[in-house]
Amino acid sequence: MIYTLLKLSHVLSILVWVGGMVFAHFFLRPALGMLQPPERLRLMHDVLNRFFKAVLLLSSWAVVSGLAMVVLARTGGTPDAPFRMPLSWTVMATLGIAMWLVFGHIRFALYQRMSRMVAAADWSAAGGALARIRLWVAVNMVLGLSTVAVALWA
């Protein structure tokens, strides 16, 4: 029962995280093209602020719950039997940690830079910062979708 609840919350946290990236990248960003840079950048800054707060919690939970599931799988087996983590779990864990680190870079470096530029009304620099965020979100989106593919393939 505990393992099932961990798995459910783990998968839901990843769905919100990856789904949010897909939404922002393919639907929100293109729709904002009709706005002038100050309005577009202020809106994206606010949206990203809200999304990144949620992702900080969700991504951290995904790491903790993933580790907890591995521990439960290990301790649920025969104590003297060696535990061999399935290759798919290793790949998912590696991709998940990479995503978490990329998100950290986006949130604590790139987004902070964008925040300073928006506060200073330096729209050109804020646009450049947002472009870097978009690039790294695309990288993370590919990592996330790859992780989902590995989970379903296994």
Are the C-beta atoms of residues 17 and 59 closer than 8 Å to each other?
yes
CB count within 10 Å of CB 138 equals 12
Average pLDDT, stretch 75-91?
82
CA triple 130-114-42, angle to 5 deg: 80
Q: What is the mean pLDDT of the chain?
A: 95
**Tens digits of residue pLDDT in 33-68:** 999 999 999 999 999 999 999 999 999 999 999 999
3-class secondary structure per residue, 52-92: HHHHHHHHHHHHHHHHHHHHHHHHCCCCCCCCCCCHHHHHH
Q: 146 pLDDT band (50/70/90 cuts)?
A: very high
Q: Is the pLDDT of residue 106 over 70?
A: yes
Q: Give the per-residue pLDDT at 76.
A: 75
Residue of 132, 125, 148 whose CA lies nearest to 48: 132
Q: Is the pLDDT of residue 149 over 80?
A: yes
**DSSP H/E element including 1:** none
Q: Is 127 exposed, middle or buried (0-12, 13-18, 19+ CB in 10 A)?
A: middle
Taking the whole predicted model, whether its pTM rises above 0.85 is answered as yes
